[in-house]
Amino acid sequence: MGWYSVRVLLRCVGKGQPKRLPLYEDRIVLVRAGNHRAAQEKARRVINKRERPYKNSLGNVIHWKLNTVFESAELFEDELRNGRVSNGAQVYWRFIRSSNPVKRLKKEGTMNALY
């Protein structure tokens, strides 16, 4: 069994949430599994089990629902020793072919544009 990072997309649902421009969260979770398919299924189960409705600052009940499981990446064993993640551990990566990768990531929305 190895460690995997699994990239998922969650959607915010509930009273007061706009239907035309919904709010999503791009999240990466860590799970221990035997292969990519098992890691993705485990991530799905873990997220569905942990996400609970709560009241937002306006008093509306909202809930984060799993929308899509995108991908998984197997982590290197030297990053995880004795079940512990070391400082600077690489938990996600992807290759990007672009002359301006920062602009591309901002356009895709995978980098926080506030920084």
* 103 domain-assigned: yes
Residues 58-62 have a mean pLDDT of: 89
Which pLDDT does position 112 carry in this prediction?
52
Neighbours of 70 (CB within 10 A): 12
- Residue 79 tokens read as 């990053």
Q: Is residue 115 part of a domain?
A: no
Domain contains 114: no
Report the pLDDT value the prediction gives residue 16, as an integer from 0 to 100: 78
**Rg of the chain (C-alpha set):** 17
Q: Tell which residue, 7, 24, 28, has the closest CA to residue 62.
A: 24
Q: Does residue 22 fall inside a structural domain? A: yes
Residue 63 lies in a domain: yes
pLDDT at 8: 92
| Average pLDDT estimate for 63-67 | 92
State how many domains the chain has.
1
* Confidence band, pLDDT 50/70/90 cuts, at residue 113: very low
**Which structural domain, as residue segments, surrounds residue 51?**
2-108
